[in-house]
Amino acid sequence: MVDRIADIWGTRTPYARGERWPVRVDQTLAPGVAEGDVDRWVQSACVLCSNGCGCDIAVKDGRMVGIRGRQADIVNHGRLGPKGLFGSWQGVDTGDRLTRPLIRVDGELVETDWDTAMNRIVERSRHLLDTKGPLSHGFYTTGQLFLEEYYALGIIGKAGVGTPHMDGNTRLCTATAATAMKESFGSDGQPGSYVDIDECDAMFLFGHNMAETQTVLWMRVLDRLAGPNPPRLVCVDPRETPVARAAEVHLAVRPGTNLALMNGLIRELFVNGWIDDAYIAAHTVDVDRLRDTVERWTPEAVAETCGVGADDVRRAAEIFGTSERVLSTVLQGFYQSAQATASSCQVNNLHLLRGMLGKEGSGILQMNGQPTAQNNRECGADGDLPGFRNWENPQHVQELADLWDVDPDTIPHWAPPTHVMQIFRYVELGSIEFLWISATNPAVSMPQLERIRRILDTDGLFLVVQDLYLTETARYADVVLPCAAWGEKTGTFTNVNRTVHLSDKAVEPPGEARSDLDVFLDYSRRMDFRTRSGAPLLDWAGPEDGFRAWQECTRGRPCDYTGISYERLRGGSGIPWPCNDANPDGTVRLYGDGVFPTDPDYCESYGHDLLTGAATGPVLYRATVQPGKAWLKSEDYRPPHEEPSEEYPLRYTTGRTVYQFHTRTKTGRSRALNRAAPGAWVEVSPADAEQLGIVEGDVVAVRSRRGHLEVPVRVGDIRVGTVFAPFHYGYWDDGGSEVSASAHHAANELTMTEWDPVSKQPVFKNAAVRIEKVRDCAGPSPAPTTAASRPACAGHRTAGRATGPGGGPGAVPATVGGQEGEASERFPDTAPPRVASSEERP
């Protein structure tokens, strides 16, 4: 047994470039359950990050009692991370699930039956549609439902209600990934594959703390690093994350300056001739504009703006420019920071300039943050048109109208879909009066929480919340619907590298809880949404009907699912789309032929100006596009809109810890995970701590122009002048539902209401704050010691008080799991799973 809380990534299985990642099967069973006790294993995939690890759920006496990785799966080769091992069934098989619908009566939420709850929703919805029309309705969903559920919701929103006001919390996590790919390549669709980790010579992790956010993917990297000819690593991150520690070059940029760095790296490629002129000429547009944009970003200029070494910029660029095969990954450090889309497009440009796309080991992974974010984007639950269709293309709208048998005018396509920040603004202004939130918790996860709480509490707003638990958000609802969790319903979902998995129902949901799909279908039925020929708009009997409907929707589109079925997904590995007659085994990489989906009749978007988000529009797009070629989009760096000042001298950034997921609705209920990261903290550098006269564990007030936190300090390895707070911690387990003035500890109390002009992703990773000490420490802060939040390497002295390693009085105890953190590892003597497709190593 291995303590997988202490040893997050488990035992190494080193391998060399070109070999396949060896199998290791990770497993946990509930205390007292032996393997022989398990009645059956039910196939699924993990939903506690975006990696999409294939797994099996152990069932005994109708309850989930364990989980193990599927060794045949191409994503994880048998492995699971701590969140999957300790927070999967443990996070949903708890005593405090919602088991009955709730409605508000005289100001209080009281239990009721489904008929009463649904009728209340339908009455309000019908009344508003009749009196104010569809623009009175908004829907805000998640990155954690199943494909079939998103597609049902997408159809309801577009063809039933007819509102453009639909978005997912994917807007907060992965909108920029989708947008950057639309801008560069013409459509969403991940170019690269995880298998490129096996094949690459260098890896660039741009704002991506993979070691904590996708632990199993990081195991694959660690195993390459432990083997012969390991890849060279470059990390861009203001914190000294585990990735940074493993990297040959760590560019600890000032938060908010990513684009300056990217423009500098691009410039080095031009200046040193590390570009593929033939590829650029054959497969890209606008190289001259790109060259002009980056011209002023010498390594010295980058060093000045970003606060990194000019030579480190040169070294990083040289690694990119001279390695044979480079894999890049991008995540929230770019997506949630200033100029998000422009910075992420520059990652695409690095690869386009070298022609390093769609080949072994040469790829891009514009990451997702959540397990089913990809499906949200595909199905249109983020407001886009399903199947990566273009709302500005009347033919695409007609295709959907034909598919659904509705009038094309029913489908909103006069403007882009309304992103969630704007949806909340319309609620604030009173023009949206019906808001339906599913499986997400904006009262903790959205920026500037004081404002969000006020909006959720708006007079006249009818708020529906469906979830597993009575979340901070559900407490504001007029109707709360109890839903089935992972393992309690069937459906499919797709991970970062397009791999589709089936998750079968293992057990019954608790009490009267229902699947989210059943709730949406029930709403559609009760609203009597119908097609042009009078049939019910959604007549699916269950998820498999939904999957078949979805297959038809994707036929001929980039995300073609027509070759995938529930049948094919059972038993073996997940399958990466597109999977169709031309690619019967799925597709490992996109764009190996250098042909991009930019054709104006095919593309998902006509693109935008990266500075302002101004739409290009069909006329200009058609006049300038060279169909099949990628766009080298670029924009100059501009300083963030909130910079440190005398009053607020520090830069504030937010992020994740390995042991928690999102707002802790599941992981916070896992004893093993929650003990490892039980409470909020902020990280400051030793130099800043010394200047502020604070030591490890001291309780401080962190203030921005929008709010304050009162939390203990971790003196850690973070850039001087920068403060980090994990965004997971809200108020549901504080013992009270009210947020008291002194108890603020949610990171988003301080964040700004501002978003990227193109992707509309909020800027969570830049704000100006100041710190004041509130009281002396009573012990070390609760921050884990195992990953980025570990205590600073060197002990130091502050204000005359003796300090141990990490700062505060005495040593900070190491984060361990003990018995609760134990999992087994097996190393079966079997060949690793082949990649899904025959396109590689036939």
Partner 1 sequence: MKLPVYLGLLHEAERILARSFRVVADGHGDEPDVHVILGTLAGQCDRHVEALEPVIARFGSEVEGEEEHRVTADGVEEVRTGALGLLLDLQDLYVLVHHLDVMWTMVGQAAAGGRDRELLDVVARCEPDADLQSRWLQTRMKQAAPQALLVAA
Site residues for partner 1 per CB under 8 A: 132-133, 135-136, 414-416, 418, 421-422, 425-426, 429-432, 609, 611-617, 638, 641, 752-755, 757
Sole residue written with tokens 């205390």: 31
Minimum Å gap between C-beta 607 and partner 1 is 11
**Separation of alpha carbons 372 and 379, rounded Å:** 11
Q: Which long-range contacts (CB under 8 A, 24 or more apart) does 550-554 make?
A: 550/147, 550/148, 550/151, 550/379, 550/386, 552/403, 553/151, 553/386, 553/387, 553/400, 553/403, 554/378, 554/387
If the CB atoms of residues 320 and 637 are measured against partner 1, the closer one turns out to be: 637
- Tokens linked to 511: 């009490």
- Report residue 304: phi and psi, to 5°: -65, -45
Minimum Å gap between C-beta 516 and partner 1 is 27
If the CB atoms of residues 199 and 749 are measured against partner 1, the closer one turns out to be: 749
If the CB atoms of residues 459 and 646 are measured against partner 1, the closer one turns out to be: 459
Minimum Å gap between C-beta 430 and partner 1 is 5
If the CB atoms of residues 51 and 163 are measured against partner 1, the closer one turns out to be: 163
If the CB atoms of residues 411 and 579 are measured against partner 1, the closer one turns out to be: 411
Count Cβ atoms below 10 Å from residue 620 Cβ, excluding itself: 12
**Separation of alpha carbons 494 and 84, rounded Å:** 17
18: left (phi over 0), alpha (psi -120 to 50) or beta: left
Minimum Å gap between C-beta 164 and partner 1 is 8
Minimum Å gap between C-beta 735 and partner 1 is 34
**Separation of alpha carbons 183 and 634, rounded Å:** 10
If the CB atoms of residues 551 and 753 are measured against partner 1, the closer one turns out to be: 753
- CA atoms within 13 A of residue 538's CA, in its CB half-sphere: 33
578 cis-preceded (ω within 30 degrees of 0): yes
If the CB atoms of residues 128 and 437 are measured against partner 1, the closer one turns out to be: 128
Minimum Å gap between C-beta 133 and partner 1 is 6
Q: In b/e form, how buried is each residue of 718-756, taking b as 16+ CB within 10 angstroms?
A: bbebbbbbbbbbbbbeeeeeebeeeebbbbbbbbbebbb
Minimum Å gap between C-beta 64 and partner 1 is 43
If the CB atoms of residues 44 and 616 are measured against partner 1, the closer one turns out to be: 616
Minimum Å gap between C-beta 625 and partner 1 is 17
Minimum Å gap between C-beta 812 and partner 1 is 39
Angle at 590 between CA 588 and CA 595, to 5 degrees: 150
Minimum Å gap between C-beta 617 and partner 1 is 7
Q: What is the DSSP string of 187-226?
A: S------TTHHHH-SEEEEES--HHHHSHHHHHHHHHHHT
Question: Angle between the 340-354 and 258-271 helix axes, to the nearest 10 degrees?
Answer: 20
Minimum Å gap between C-beta 435 and partner 1 is 14
Amino acid at 266: I
Minimum Å gap between C-beta 632 and partner 1 is 18
- Tokens linked to 250: 């760590």
Minimum Å gap between C-beta 608 and partner 1 is 8
Minimum Å gap between C-beta 615 and partner 1 is 5
If the CB atoms of residues 135 and 152 are measured against partner 1, the closer one turns out to be: 135
If the CB atoms of residues 445 and 786 are measured against partner 1, the closer one turns out to be: 445
If the CB atoms of residues 267 and 608 are measured against partner 1, the closer one turns out to be: 608
If the CB atoms of residues 69 and 607 are measured against partner 1, the closer one turns out to be: 607
If the CB atoms of residues 424 and 596 are measured against partner 1, the closer one turns out to be: 424
Minimum Å gap between C-beta 757 and partner 1 is 6
Count Cβ atoms below 10 Å from residue 272 Cβ, excluding itself: 13
Question: Angle between the 516-527 and 114-131 helix axes, to the nearest 10 degrees?
Answer: 50
Query: Using CB atoms within 10 A of its CB, is residue 499 exposed (0-12), middle (13-18) or buried (19+)?
Result: buried
Count Cβ atoms below 10 Å from residue 670 Cβ, excluding itself: 27
If the CB atoms of residues 44 and 263 are measured against partner 1, the closer one turns out to be: 263
Q: What is the DSSP string of 331-346?
A: -HHHHTSTTHHHHHHH
Q: Are 74 and 587 in contact (CB under 8 A)?
A: no
Among residues 111, 123, 117, 156, which one has the least CA distance to residue 138?
156
Minimum Å gap between C-beta 461 and partner 1 is 13
**Separation of alpha carbons 415 and 394, rounded Å:** 12
Amino acid at 585: D
Query: Using CB atoms within 10 A of its CB, is residue 212 exposed (0-12), middle (13-18) or buried (19+)?
Result: buried
Q: What is the DSSP string of 720-777?
A: TTEEEEES---STTSSSSS--TT----GGGS--S-B-TTT--B--S-EEEEEEEEE--
If the CB atoms of residues 75 and 135 are measured against partner 1, the closer one turns out to be: 135
If the CB atoms of residues 134 and 160 are measured against partner 1, the closer one turns out to be: 134
Among residues 380, 833, 388, 836, which one has the least CA distance to residue 569?
836
Minimum Å gap between C-beta 333 and partner 1 is 21
Q: Which long-range contacts (CB under 8 A, 24 or more apart) does 227-232 make?
A: 227/14, 227/15, 227/16, 227/17, 227/19, 228/14, 228/16, 228/17, 229/16, 229/17, 229/201, 231/17, 231/197, 231/200, 231/201, 231/202, 231/203, 231/327, 232/201, 232/202, 232/203, 232/319, 232/323
Minimum Å gap between C-beta 704 and partner 1 is 15
If the CB atoms of residues 28 and 125 are measured against partner 1, the closer one turns out to be: 125
**Separation of alpha carbons 524 and 511, rounded Å:** 23
If the CB atoms of residues 97 and 124 are measured against partner 1, the closer one turns out to be: 124
